[in-house]
A and B are shown apart, each in its own frame.
Chain A
Amino acid sequence: MAQMTMIQAITDAMRIELKNDENVLVFGEDVGQNGGVFRATEGLQKEFGEDRVFDTPLAESGIGGMSIGLALTGFRPVPEIQFFGFVYEVMDAISGQMARLRYRSGGSFHAPITVRSPFGGGVKTPELHADSLEGLMAQQPGLKVVIPSNPYDAKGLLISAIRDNDPVIFLEHMKLYRSFRQEVPEEEYTIEIGKADVKREGSDITIVTYGAMVQASLKAAEELEKEGINAEVIDLRTVSPLDIDTIIASVEKTNRAIVVQEAQKQAGIAANVVAEINDRAILSLEAPVLRVAAPDTVFAFSAAEDVWLPDHSDIIEKAKQVVNF
């Protein structure tokens, strides 16, 4: 075991997969010699050579299209989009193309591609760096969307993502990159994609969440405990497909739920979770399922992040509202 930050765990996962499978290729803007703008690919080019880990021209659409072409010739591409706000440039290659490749070729071809990309607020980035756009990806049949909230999950999920034979969007929250360390096994291990994790057991209310909102929800749960409210915190880990079984089992136990996301209320995936609970567990509910989300404006100017981003106090407030319904 070693103490690792999430960024170190991510680098470690890529190192393991580059070693395991000669078809794994890591590429993107500044991922080579520079080791990535967040050092996620630090040392990988030196260890595996320029043939395996390399820089690309500055063009996201080209990176996406190139990933598909490399997949067609037998490679397992792990491209990086420098910030997920830039996904609009590569929406066709991701949603219009790689997500559909297996289907459109009737199974003749497939796209074992893992698109890695940082996102998330709280670190005062400039425009279109921090936007939560996982909701767009979650709407596209053919993709899986994974969002880890800690170093241990990040490593196991990234190894699974790279080994998956269909495209996976792997979103890395910038605020979580170095915010804490955790024990992470040095050897390889995997975490199944599509499986949520109960981060805190509880009996009074279920908090379903993902990304940076997991830490905020755990903090909120501690404070709620002081007031006699025992919250169960579910980290989705994969936002598409959802782990229905884990969500429903928890709601059937607690009879109350909120869904917490950093994205705007009209975005993200919280509405999906609410709909699934309504479809499958309405008779267990003592109160409506409410959502904690950002306001429906464009992502905040950086100096306004503190008042705009949802935090643990918003979660506490919403949880109490549900408990006292």
Chain B
Amino acid sequence: MGTKTLENIEGQFEMFQILNENGEIINEEAMPELTDEQLQELMRRMVYTRILDQRSISLNRQGRLGFYAPTAGQEASQLGSQFALDKEDWILPGYRDVPQLIWHGLPLYKAFLFSRGHFVGNQADGLNMLSPQIIIGAQITQTAGVALGLKKKGKKNVAITYTGDGGASQGDFYEGMNFAGAYGAPAIFVVQNNRFAISVPVEKQSAAKTIAQKAVGVGIHGVQVDGMDVLAVYKAVTDARERAINGEGPTLIETMTYRYGPHTMAGDDPTRYRSEDLDSEWEKKDPIVRFRKYLESKDLWNEEKENEVVEKAKEEIKAAIKQADKTPKQKVTDLIEIMYEELPHNLREQYEEYSAKESK
């Protein structure tokens, strides 16, 4: 009886897909309403972000960037979901989710400063976003709060957050979704399932066959999406957003995706835990290749357009790194000043001490 119940539940989480690996529409009725310009813009962003990943890895190796978590392979999942948002929607990203912030308005040089470890990189300047969350799961409970806040203020906006397949094992993952569900808050929880949490395969995280089905435990809507299919991701988030702002509560979206690179640039070597077969299987599913085929078939994309994006990306990355270089170095007094609105006694004393040092 128990097993039957489980099978029934798992049966409800079939992967949602619009575009197949050959760039063909296989689910016409789910096709989102996007203009030709929007379709091209999506492609531009994916190509740009792939270049950004390549350049970031290279800049990291040259020592010109610090902490960096590669994103190649996850462009559809990251950018398709952000593309469905309104400018006033909130993003609470994980540490791999810098691209969503950039397309939501964060200047590129600030993303680089975040990587290097400079507080200016974390300043939001009026944008509805937090800097990437390092504590896996913390962003999930905070998202429930932002969403409840938006609901209480009567805003027609949502809070979206991202974690990985490993993150779905955290207590905060469950608590955040459960709170949002209990309050009917307009939240979207995206789990980017790239099959590995550093070296641990998703099968070792949970006996659950899908992560999407974890929505059942908290009584909210859940959907599993082909995370290499930008149209499916966009559509799933658009639908979740629509439901959320209509007061129908939160949604959990699992995007089935893959990271082609290592976990981070801090010495992780994926050949220790991933087979070449698995890598090449997922390379066939590349979200950019697939979407390019689709756009080319509609005569919306060509090599020239792609090269333009590549060149623009390279130029802007160069300029952004220069701007990051020019940002004044951090002083201890800067760090003291951003601790509190009014400094307590101990910090007033230490401020004096360090400003004397700094003026030497």
By a beta-carbon cutoff of 8 Å, the part of chain A in contact with chain B is 51, 56-57, 59, 61-62, 64-75, 92-93, 96-97, 102-110, 141-142, 144, 164-166, 194, 241-245
Mind listing 17 A-B residue pairs with CB under 8 Å?
A57-B175, A62-B141, A65-B142, A66-B148, A68-B142, A69-B147, A70-B152, A72-B149, A73-B146, A73-B152, A92-B135, A92-B138, A97-B135, A103-B119, A105-B130, A106-B119, A242-B346
By a beta-carbon cutoff of 8 Å, the part of chain B in contact with chain A is 90, 119-120, 122-125, 130-131, 135, 138, 140-150, 152-153, 159, 171-172, 175-176, 178-179, 182, 335, 337-341, 344-347
With A61-B171, A66-B144, A69-B147 known as contacts, the answer to whether A96 contacts B339 (CB < 8 A) is no
With A166-B340, A194-B344 known as contacts, the answer to whether A61 contacts B123 (CB < 8 A) is no
Complex CA–CA separation, A166 to B338 (angstroms): 11
Is the beta-carbon distance between B152 and A51 smaller than 8 angstroms? Answer: yes
Contacts A66-B142, A73-B145, A164-B341 supplied; 20 other A-B pairs, CB < 8 Å = A56-B179, A57-B179, A57-B182, A62-B144, A62-B172, A65-B142, A65-B179, A66-B148, A69-B145, A70-B146, A73-B146, A75-B149, A96-B138, A104-B119, A105-B123, A105-B130, A106-B123, A142-B340, A194-B345, A241-B345
Is the beta-carbon distance between B153 and A73 smaller than 8 angstroms? Answer: yes
Most buried by A among B144, B147, B175: B175
The residue of chain A having its C-beta at the shortest distance from the C-beta of B151 within the complex is A73
The residue of chain A having its C-beta at the shortest distance from the C-beta of B182 within the complex is A57
Residues of B within 8 A of A166 (CB): 340-341
Residues of B within 8 A of A142 (CB): 339-340
Residues of B within 8 A of A241 (CB): 344-347
Distance (whole angstroms) from the CB of A113 to the closest CB of chain B: 10
Most buried by B among A74, A102, A106, A194: A106
The residue of chain A having its C-beta at the shortest distance from the C-beta of B171 within the complex is A61
Is the beta-carbon distance between B130 and A72 smaller than 8 angstroms? Answer: yes
Closest CB pairs A-B (n = 8):
A69-B145, A65-B141, A73-B149, A241-B344, A62-B175, A66-B145, A69-B146, A106-B123
Is the beta-carbon distance between A102 and B340 smaller than 8 angstroms? Answer: yes
Complex CA–CA separation, A102 to B337 (angstroms): 10
The residue of chain A having its C-beta at the shortest distance from the C-beta of B121 within the complex is A106
Most buried by B among A51, A65, A68, A104: A65
Complex CA–CA separation, A71 to B337 (angstroms): 20
Complex CA–CA separation, A103 to B119 (angstroms): 8
Complex CA–CA separation, A70 to B152 (angstroms): 9
Residues of A within 8 A of B123 (CB): 105-108
Is the beta-carbon distance between B90 and A93 smaller than 8 angstroms? Answer: no
The residue of chain A having its C-beta at the shortest distance from the C-beta of B140 within the complex is A65
Is the beta-carbon distance between A65 and B175 smaller than 8 angstroms? Answer: yes
Is the beta-carbon distance between A62 and B149 smaller than 8 angstroms? Answer: no
Residues of B within 8 A of A164 (CB): 341
Is the beta-carbon distance between B138 and A97 smaller than 8 angstroms? Answer: yes
Is the beta-carbon distance between B345 and A243 smaller than 8 angstroms? Answer: yes
Is the beta-carbon distance between A69 and B122 smaller than 8 angstroms? Answer: no
Residues of A within 8 A of B152 (CB): 51, 70, 73, 75
Complex CA–CA separation, A97 to B135 (angstroms): 9
Residues of B within 8 A of A110 (CB): 341
Select one of A66, A73, A108, A194 contacting B141, CB under 8 A: A66
The residue of chain A having its C-beta at the shortest distance from the C-beta of B157 within the complex is A73
Complex CA–CA separation, A108 to B127 (angstroms): 9
Residues of A within 8 A of B138 (CB): 65, 92-93, 96-97
Residues of B within 8 A of A72 (CB): 90, 130, 142, 145-146, 149
Is the beta-carbon distance between A109 and B141 smaller than 8 angstroms? Answer: no
The residue of chain B having its C-beta at the shortest distance from the C-beta of A166 within the complex is B340
Residues of A within 8 A of B337 (CB): 107
Residues of B within 8 A of A59 (CB): 175, 178-179
Residues of B within 8 A of A74 (CB): 149, 153
Complex CA–CA separation, A71 to B178 (angstroms): 19
Is the beta-carbon distance between B338 and A62 smaller than 8 angstroms? Answer: no
Distance (whole angstroms) from the CB of A62 to the closest CB of chain B: 4
Is the beta-carbon distance between B149 and A106 smaller than 8 angstroms? Answer: no
Residues of B within 8 A of A97 (CB): 135, 138, 142
Residues of B within 8 A of A71 (CB): 145
Residues of B within 8 A of A104 (CB): 119, 122, 131
The residue of chain B having its C-beta at the shortest distance from the C-beta of A244 within the complex is B345
Residues of A within 8 A of B149 (CB): 69-70, 72-75
Complex CA–CA separation, A248 to B145 (angstroms): 43
Complex CA–CA separation, A141 to B124 (angstroms): 22
Is the beta-carbon distance between A65 and B339 smaller than 8 angstroms? Answer: no
Is the beta-carbon distance between B120 and A65 smaller than 8 angstroms? Answer: no
Select one of A61, A68, A108 contacting B122, CB under 8 A: A108
Residues of B within 8 A of A107 (CB): 123, 337-338
Residues of A within 8 A of B130 (CB): 72, 105, 109
Complex CA–CA separation, A24 to B338 (angstroms): 24
Is the beta-carbon distance between A66 and B339 smaller than 8 angstroms? Answer: no
Residues of B within 8 A of A62 (CB): 141, 144, 172, 175-176, 178-179
With A104-B131, A106-B122, A108-B122 known as contacts, the answer to whether A165 contacts B141 (CB < 8 A) is no
Is the beta-carbon distance between A65 and B172 smaller than 8 angstroms? Answer: yes
